[in-house]
Amino acid sequence: MINNLIPNPDTIQVSWIYFQILLLLTTPIHFFFMNAVLGSAGIASYLHFKKDEKAKKLAHHIAIFLPLAVAFAVNFGVAPLLFAQVLYGQFLYTSSVLMAVFWISIIAILIIAYYLAYYYDFSFEKLGEKGKWIILLSFVLFIIIAYFFTNNMLLMLLPETFPKWFKNMGGTILASSDRVFLPKYFHNLAGAMAIGGLFVALISCFKSKKDKEIADYGKEVGLKTFFYFTLINIEFGLWQFLTIPGSIRRGLIGGSTSGTVVFVIALLSILLALVFSWKKNLKLTAIFGLTALLFMSFVRDFVRQGYLKDYFSPSSLKVVNDYSPLVFFLVIFLIGIFVAYWLIKKAIEAFN
């Protein structure tokens, strides 16, 4: 019955390894901006509720960058989602249908949250004290989006739950009752707050010439947020590690050479990022923090393949050997990277 609910995978133009590499390379970029959005919105909410003028100024500075971060998160989310659909489409499409009501609602929720972020930015002074409720609502909406995304990314890994569709065809099935869900969700939220802190520390550098006091304050707030939420997230990560299937867990601690190497590098990067954030070294904190994000996304892919190994392996996908779509994509992709670099460079020049 389970296999009947899993559609046959589509054929692909080139070897699955090309799509796997592209998935692994684009996912961390999306994760960074996605986490930066949620985390910086949370930090701005906290700052705006403080009865402190310096905190309000930093909240205003975050407000300027928040809509940009949302735009980057959405646009850089397209590529990894498409590559995930190419490799695991039969599972991702099915899980999306099972929770269709909540999945499609993300569009409306994101539009509202995005609008509120823009409103908070462009009307910051005019809003006054009302602004704290605007950014808080936007933050809560981003948390809700994270809740639904976490559900779908877990639900697609649980084909044994797909037969629930026969008892509930209304598109309201979630994976939140699975024992992995809570640690996974809290791990995502705490990680987002940590990366949000790093994002705030980095964008505060743009204030170094115009307002050094706010730049230093933003760096301090960002690094402290990164440090403490990373510490908290280690607990959630351990909780999640203990709830995933034993076979996957063993693969990360010696059962698989590649899985273990990636996992160890991720853990070492996290520890080094903690050390340097405590020492208030922003450059090295960013280097090791982003390295940790990169390798944790690799760990995530290892876990996904471990969950689905009894049902499917990307290496089993049929190939029709037509390289032209891949070449066309790579050309457009490189042009896009150049344009994004140019836009970021111009934005940095405008803020300096």
| Spatial CA neighbour of 62 closest among 33, 37, 29 | 37
pTM of the model: 0.92
250 lies in some domain: yes
Q: Are 151 and 99 within 8 A, CB to CB?
A: yes
334 lies in some domain: no
Rounded Cα–Cα distance for residues 215 and 205 (Å):
6
Backbone angles phi and psi of 319, in degrees to 5 = -115, 135
Q: Are 158 and 90 within 8 A, CB to CB?
A: no
Please report how the helices 257-278 and 212-243 are oriented relative to each other, as an axis angle in degrees rounded to 10.
150
Per-residue pLDDT of the chain (352 residues; tens, 9 = 90+): 555 667 788 888 899 999 999 999 999 999 999 999 999 999 999 998 887 888 899 999 999 999 989 999 998 898 899 999 999 989 999 999 999 999 999 999 999 999 999 999 999 889 888 989 999 999 999 999 999 999 999 999 999 999 998 888 899 999 999 999 999 999 999 999 999 999 999 999 887 667 788 889 999 999 999 999 999 999 999 999 999 999 999 999 988 899 999 999 999 999 999 999 999 999 999 999 999 999 999 999 999 999 999 888 888 889 988 888 888 988 988 888 888 788 777 776 766 6
344 lies in some domain: no
Query: How many separate domains does the chain show?
Result: 1
In this structure, what CATH number is given to the domain that contains residue 88?
1.20.1630.10
The boundaries of the domain holding residue 63 are 3-329
Residue type, 305: Q
Q: Tell me how many degrees the CA angle 215-143-223 measures, rounded to the nearest 5.
A: 25
230 lies in some domain: yes
350 lies in some domain: no
Please report how the helices 53-98 and 181-203 are oriented relative to each other, as an axis angle in degrees rounded to 10.
140
343 lies in some domain: no
